Amino acid sequence: MFGGGGKIQYDRALTVFSPEGRLYQVEYALEAVRRGTLIVGIKTKTDVCLAAQIKLASPLMEAESIDKLFKIDDHIGCAISGLHADSRILINYSRVQSQSYRLTYDEPVKLRMLVKTIADIKQMYTQHGGIRPFGCSLFFIAVDSDGPQIFTTSPSGIYRSFKAYALGAGEANAREFIEKEYDPAMSLKEIQLLAMRAIKESIDEEITPDNVKCSYISGEEKKFTMLSKSEVSELVKGL
């Protein structure tokens, strides 16, 4: 905990607060999320959609091999921002919890309950020595008995519900753009276009069907659906 000259290094240990009451390791995990690729979620009174930027580390990579959007249950989807390996563990845990709830109670889990469980695990990883916080945020969407839902979880263990939100690199610009354009009376197609436009306005590269993915859950079907590459191409043309 002590650096050169006896200076205390408060950012070296997870369980040591700085004099200002800060946990630097948790803040570093939040920075990992802010440096992740951009994800945008928007809901209306009946539907909800989720769009994500895909970043190719090399032109030799297959865009389809990069997963940013995941199906958790029939009625729940999720996007990740931050460290993919950390996210994968929590995605798998979320799926197990969703299926366990169905088997136990013979009904789909409410998103709020699932998100609280994930947030509790994340919080636990902020108060023990020998471990580090999860360097990722999970961005959940669902249509359950409470209607369309958007929830995010932070590496600190905080979880929040939103009408529309953005996470990752360029999140501030995306949120500002959505605040100006958002209308809860929009149709499903309109919020899909708005999510794609928010990404387009907030990243430095041109949007193509290879570097963005989109999904939705409609109030009628209540099923998480990924748009095909041709459907994403149609949305890109409409921007």
Asked if the model's pLDDT at residue 122 lies above 70, the reply is: yes
- Considering only the C-alpha atoms of the chain, give the largest distance between any 2 of them, rounded to a whole number of Å: 65
Q: Which pLDDT score is estimated for 204?
A: 87
Q: Over the chain, what is the mean pLDDT? A: 91
**Domains of the chain with CATH codes:** 4-237 (3.60.20.10)
pLDDT digits (tens, 9 = 90+) for 147-201: 999 999 999 999 999 999 999 999 999 999 999 999 999 999 999 999 999 999 9
- Which of the four pLDDT bands, split at 50, 70 and 90, describes residue 2? very low
Give 133's contacts (C-beta < 8 A, 6+ positions apart): 14, 25, 26, 29, 122, 125, 126, 155, 156
Distance CA 192, CA 187 (A): 9
pLDDT digits (tens, 9 = 90+) for 56-74: 777 777 777 788 999 999 9
Q: Which pLDDT score is estimated for 8?
A: 62
pLDDT digits (tens, 9 = 90+) for 3-34: 544 456 777 778 888 888 888 999 999 999 99
Backbone φ and ψ of 174, nearest 5°: -65, -40
Q: Which of 77, 79, 78, 51 is CA-nearest to residue 197?
A: 51
